[in-house]
Copies of this chain bind each other. A is one copy, B any other.
Amino acid sequence: MAFNHIDPIKAYLLDLQQRLCHCLEQEDGQATFKQDKWKHPEGGGGITCALTGTVIEKAGVNFSHVQGSQLPNTASARRPDLAQARFQALGVSTVIHPNNPYVPTAHMNVRFILVEKKDQAPVWWFGGGFDLTPYYGFSEDCVHWHRTAKQACDPFGQDVYAQYKKWCDQYFFLKHRNEPRGIGGIFYDDLHEWGFNRCFDFMQSVGDHFIKGYQPIVSRRKSHAFGQREKDFQLYRRGRYVEFNLLYDRGTLFGLQSGGRTESILMSLPPLVAWHYDWQAKANTAEEKLYTDFLLPREWVK
């Protein structure tokens, strides 16, 4: 009953981490990633890559493979029978906060969870996805982003993109603001019904397509001229990212609950953030346009 697929997953994830770092270093043009290896108190550990640059104000690309004796509630809410069981979790997670407010913030995560209960067959599932958070929206970027997301999904079934796109819109939603975090992408969890090989192929498709989706957007927006007004709006909007990650994000809460490395988990938080009381975008401004044209569920590709 032993589960022997950990090594290929780990190999893919470590390679994905390197490719992501390379891509972001290329776009930044100057800064390089700093790498930290750390150990988890209950077993396993991770490699955290962090960059502070000029095009990329702050980026983290985190690989982790941790073991624990008690699966946290955030991971097992849908599977109460597995709460408190021994588990392994492997994943790569990245959040990129660009300096230029015309370049959107991006997030991607792919993960695999294995639960082994004594005298029972191992239980495993995949989860992950990617989503985009613009400050000033460009329709062509949103179309490219969602087209790439659809390409990641299409080989796995006709409805996969539609289903995971909807799940993303539902998941990355700030209830207390009645507002989506951004323009979405794809999100999936508890994926096992395709069998191991196909699920693992899907993880790779998601990881690979994230780079294809994000890099061209960074590349074409990073030299867009901006001033203090745009920067202020970006700092303000980044507050929503913090609110989402600390109030709702399952990955963040899973990490903190499972005794993960705090600095690696909270690396997703933006470098500089502003909160203003009761700020509102003025009518007929580019800032208002973000709310009216982009921060709502839309079908960006057919």
Binding site for B on A (CB under 8 A): 36, 48, 50, 52, 58, 60, 175-177, 235, 239, 242-243, 246-247, 256, 262-263, 265-267, 269-278
- Apart from the given pairs A176-B262, A247-B256, 12 other A-B contacts in the complex at a CB distance below 8 Å: A50-B277, A50-B278, A52-B277, A175-B256, A242-B273, A243-B246, A263-B277, A266-B275, A267-B277, A269-B275, A270-B275, A272-B272
| B246 adjacent to A277 (CB under 8 Å) | no
Do the beta carbons of A246 and B256 come within 8 Å of each other?
Answer: no
Contact of A276 among B239, B247, B271 (CB under 8 A): B271
A278 to B270, CA, bound (A): 13
Q: Is B272 touching A273 in the complex (CB atoms < 8 A)?
A: yes
- Copies assembled: 2
Q: How far is the CA of A199 from the CA of B247 in the complex (A)?
A: 33
Q: In the assembly, what is the distance between CA of A262 and CA of B275, in Å?
A: 12
Q: Can you name the residue of chain B whose Cβ is closest to the Cβ of A178?
A: B262
Assess the A58–B277 pair: CB atoms within 8 A. yes
Q: Which residues of the other chain, B, contact A60 by a CB distance below 8 angstroms?
A: 277
Chain A interface mostly helix, strand, loop or mixed? mixed
**Are the C-beta atoms of A269 and B176 separated by less than 8 Å?**
no
Q: How far does the alpha carbon of A276 sit from the alpha carbon of B263 in the complex, in Å?
A: 9
A239 near B269 with CB under 8 A, answer yes
Among all A-B residue pairs, the 10 with the closest Cβ atoms? A246-B246, A269-B275, A50-B277, A176-B256, A263-B278, A176-B262, A273-B273, A272-B274, A267-B277, A246-B247
Contacts of A52 in B (CB 8 A): 276-277
CB pair B36 A278 closer than 8 Å: yes
CA distance A119 to B242 in the complex (A): 44
CB neighbours (8 Å) of A262 from chain B are 176-177
A242-B246 contact given A177-B262, A262-B177, A277-B58, CB 8 Å threshold: yes
CA distance A277 to B277 in the complex (A): 27
Contacts of A272 in B (CB 8 A): 235, 272-274
Distance in angstroms between the alpha carbons of A211 and B177 in the assembled complex = 32
**Taking each of A48, A52, A271, A277, which has the highest tally of chain B beta carbons within 10 Å of its own beta carbon?**
A277
